[in-house]
Amino acid sequence: MRKFFIILLILLLSGSAVFYIGWISFQIGPNQYGVVFSKTNGWEPSVVRAGNFCWCWQKLIPTNVSMYIYEPSIQHSNLSIEQNLPSGEHYSQYMEGNPDFTYSIELSVEWNVDPELLPNLAAQREILPENLAELEESLESSVSQNIRTELTAMMRTAGQENTQPILSEIETNLAQKVSIAMREVNIQSIRINNMSFPDIELYEAGREIYQELLESRRAAIQQASTEIVFDDMMTERQLNALQTYGKVITDYPLLLDYFSLSVETGADPLGLNKLSNDGR
Instruction: Note whether 111 and 186 are within 8 A (CB).
Output: yes
> Tens-of-pLDDT digits for all 280 residues of the chain?
666 556 655 655 555 544 445 456 667 778 888 888 888 888 888 888 876 766 666 666 677 778 888 888 899 989 888 888 877 877 777 777 788 888 888 999 999 999 988 898 888 888 899 888 888 888 888 898 999 888 888 887 877 776 767 778 888 888 888 888 888 898 999 998 988 888 777 877 877 777 777 777 776 677 666 666 555 665 666 666 656 666 656 666 655 555 565 655 655 554 555 545 554 4
pTM here?
0.60
Q: What counts of helices (H) and strands (E) characterise the chain?
A: 8, 7
What does the alpha-carbon distance between residue 165 and residue 158 come to, in Å, rounded to a whole number? 6
Confidence at residue 20, expressed as pLDDT on a 0 to 100 scale: 47
Confidence at residue 256, expressed as pLDDT on a 0 to 100 scale: 57
Strands (E) located in the chain: 33-38, 42-43, 48-49, 65-70, 75-84, 102-113, 185-196
Instruction: Note whether 238 and 277 are within 8 A (CB).
Output: no
Confidence at residue 279, expressed as pLDDT on a 0 to 100 scale: 46
Confidence at residue 112, expressed as pLDDT on a 0 to 100 scale: 92
